[in-house]
Structure 1
Amino acid sequence: MPKRHGLSATTLKRLEHASGSLASASVAAMEERLPWFGRLPADQRASVLLITQTGAAGFVAWLRDSKEALKLTADAFRGAPTELSRWISLRQAVGLVRLAIEVFEEQLPAFAATEAEHAALIEGILRYGREIAFAAANSYAAAAEARGAWDARLEALVVDGIVRGDAEESVLSRAAALGWDPATPATVLVGNPGSDDPPTVVFEVRSRAARVGRAVLLSVQGSRLVIVVAGPTEGTLKDQEILAKLSVAFGDGPVVAGPTVDTLAEAHRSAVEALSGLRAVVGWPSAPRPVRSGELLPERALAGDPDAERLLIDEIARPLEAAGGTLLQTVETYLEGGGVLETCARTLVVHPNTVRYRLRRVADLTGRHPADARDALILRIALTVARLAKARGLW
């Protein structure tokens, strides 16, 4: 009778009958030599035993017909993506394969009828072990790809939920599944994607985020890219540079950042303001990149954003009115006079230094100095919005 791999039919028959005991001996060695394996629940150890038995039976079949090696080794790890990869890392799986091969090498000589068959068995188990290791790596790679695709879909759902303002419990639970700390501050960035190919966009954003050491959630929503950035983006110079560095991942056109909120549960507010700013930023052609949504309040108010109108009133008009009529009268006169200090002083019949002092008080109260062209526009729009709100009885 012809031999396969230099083995007689008698030796192959012995191996076939002993495949179960070889698998059991391998699992026993795993429990003895690998402390982490012994801590696995019984059902998980039983799964490893089943896969090992399949591998042992596959070895005998492989010895009979090596042309079927790829199919047989794939069968041995058919359950790995759905079972092993959930609770055993690839490094640990390779360790199990190595240990099983060592056990096989120790026990195979007992089944060889001759020295030549002994050598053939050793060579066979080494080659088969290599095939098993490759099959395990392929299984884990496929599982990782599947998890990656699922994570991408879950991430898109989280970002979409933030934009739409879905129930925060569902958004937070999904974000937690992605490893996001719900208690960390968050800032939403919006703009045009840098490519028509979503995977390219994701790679670029992830690369930039890794360089600045920040976690991000992102989603390409048609013609816009939405990124949620973890951590503070105000305060220190390093924090302020985070958004500028991430903006490089966007395509041509403006990039708008919403306000930094305390937790992910409040990120919807940052998203709403960022998207409102993105719609209105066309009104400020020289806007920086990125530009904060708070810097676009005049354009947003002119575009019909009621939240921007409210913020202009709360942040500028109310503080000025609460400070007394003198400051409000001074800033209105200064703006109406074209920002000329002396003209304002003559109109109010005060010394120019008095006007300077009052303008500094305006800047302290509102964060906007009337002598700055951009701040002057914001002050003018804010006072106009306030007067309109009073006329409509809304304030």
Structure 2
Amino acid sequence: MERSKERELSWLRTIAGELATQTMARLEETLPWYGEMPPSRRSAVGLVAQTGISSFIQWYEDPSATPWIASDVFSVAPRELLRSISLQETLQLIRVVVSVVEERVASRSEELREAILHYSRDVAFAAADVYARAAEARGLWDARLEALVVDSILTGESDDELPSRIAALGWHGAGEAAVLVGTSDRSVDVDQIRRTARHSGADVLVGLQGTRLVLVLGRMAQESKDPHAMPPAQVPFLEIAERLVDFFADGPLVLGPTVENLVSASRSARAALAGIAVARSWRGATRPVGADDLLPERALAGDGLARRTLIEQIYEPLTAHSGELLETLWCYLDNGRSLEATARELFVHPNTVRYRLKKVSEVIGWNATGAREALILQAALIVGSIAQHGAKRPVRAKR
């Protein structure tokens, strides 16, 4: 038996070069992707194939060496080769090598045929293990990089490297972004969060910091083969947030305002975090609630961003448009939102008050006749007046 195996080993070593040559020719004939590779990559693939043949001979000599011999087949490959060919292509490569060896060797003895089958199985498992380890390492690195990017967005400490880090994550966002902040007291199904967001046309970065769950949402690039086709309607971020509610634990859930891109998402994150701190103070808060719907509470809590938002979006536009609108709004809010009392104070008809309030709504987008929006507008008038005149409220001109 030993002599027979020695003869087989000696014969295998003799034809090893021939098998390698036939394998390279077969790769060229049967695998289109191999022929399209640059010379350096083709050389690396060929080296893997030749090592597979040599390792089979060593394995046949000592089957107990399976764990390290099978792994050695892929250890000769440069690291970049694993990134350039897929697991499917690697298995195609193994199939070609095994078929060439089997055609040349299997007919010699039943023992050799069985050896080839066993070895091909071991090498296939080794290939899967190599790719699984690479994927695991990549996954761990991506998770750390994603956590770093989310932390940079939350702290506002973004630097010149943030765009490159975002690109390294494979971010598909290509436009507006918004940050959704809530709590989570259970294991988060990150994959399902990503699927839900992408089904809504958004990419997402996920950050879990203790019990705080942060989702950074961004518009996905919409590719169309027809340049004249109308782009699909974009789902509002608030609606996307509503679809993600079930991934959060009970408690406040705040969506920051929409910003122009992911690099600017720290502004949305600051607003969302400030909103989380005060969301419970509004009994009628929806879930999720927009951070800008909590502007009065945030301003009272000392949030400078909320004060600036109230001034820039409400007070300054009204001041720039017409002092008459600003004065009418002051009177209307001071008189408990009574049209008649406002009209008497301003010596105008109630319909004039209605017209001016409608104009206010057109200028700033908020409707003073609603209780909640009236509170937001009154807060804007107060912080705007303080910023412009100190504690002194503007005095209505005498008629």
Q: Which TM-score tier does this pair reach, normalised by the shorter chain?
A: 0.7 to 0.9
- 2:85 and 2:348 mapped to 1: Cα distance? 80
Instruction: Give the corresponding residue for 2:140.
Output: 149
Instruction: Give the corresponding residue for 2:22.
Output: 25
Paired letter, 2:70: T
Where do residues 166-185 of structure 1 align in structure 2 (5 Å cutoff)?
Answer: 166-181=157-172, 183-185=174-176
Where do residues 265-280 of structure 1 align in structure 2 (5 Å cutoff)?
Answer: 265-280=263-278
Counterpart check, 1:72 vs 2:66: no
Identity of aligned residues (%): 45
Residue pair 1:259, 1:293 contacting (<8 A) in 2 also: yes
1:338-370 CA-to-partner distances (Å, cap 9, x unmatched) read 222233233333332222222212211222222
> Which residue, out of 345, 348, 354, partners 1:347?
345
Greater Cα offset, 218-227 or 135-144: 218-227
Paired letter, 1:216: V
Give the drift of 1:96. Answer: 0.4
Counterpart check, 1:356 vs 2:344: no
1:74-98 CA-to-partner distances (Å, cap 9, x unmatched) read 3323356935321110111011011
Instruction: Give the corresponding residue for 1:248.
Output: 246
Paired letter, 2:166: A
TM-score when normalising by structure 1: 0.87
CA 1:243/1:216 → structure 2, altered by over 3 Å: closer, same or farther? same
Where do residues 223-234 of structure 1 align in structure 2 (5 Å cutoff)?
Answer: 223-231=211-219
Instruction: Give the corresponding residue for 2:120.
Output: 129
Gapped regions of structure 2 (runs ≥ 5)? 221-231, 395-399
Instruction: Give the corresponding residue for 1:202.
Output: 190
Give the drift of 1:322. Answer: 3.1
RMSD, aligned α-carbons: 2.7
- 2:335 and 2:201 mapped to 1: Cα distance? 49
Gapped regions of structure 1 (runs ≥ 5)? none
Residue pair 1:81, 1:140 contacting (<8 A) in 2 also: no
Aligned residues: 381
Residue pair 2:218, 2:261 contacting (<8 A) in 1 also: no
CA 1:131/1:91 → structure 2, altered by over 3 Å: closer, same or farther? same
- 1:280 and 1:109 mapped to 2: Cα distance? 76
Task: Give the match's secondary structure for 1:186.
Answer: strand
Residue pair 1:22, 1:104 contacting (<8 A) in 2 also: yes
Give the drift of 1:191. Answer: 1.5
Give the drift of 1:304. Answer: 1.0
Runs of 4+ in structure 1 displaced over 4 angstroms? none
- 1:105 and 1:236 mapped to 2: Cα distance? 57
Where do residues 1-395 of structure 1 align in structure 2 (5 Å cutoff)?
Answer: 1-2=1-2, 8-79=5-76, 82-108=79-105, 112=108, 117=109, 119-181=110-172, 183-193=174-184, 195=186, 197=187, 200-231=188-219, 238-239=235-236, 240-392=238-390
TM-score when normalising by structure 2: 0.86
Greater Cα offset, 262-271 or 98-107: 262-271
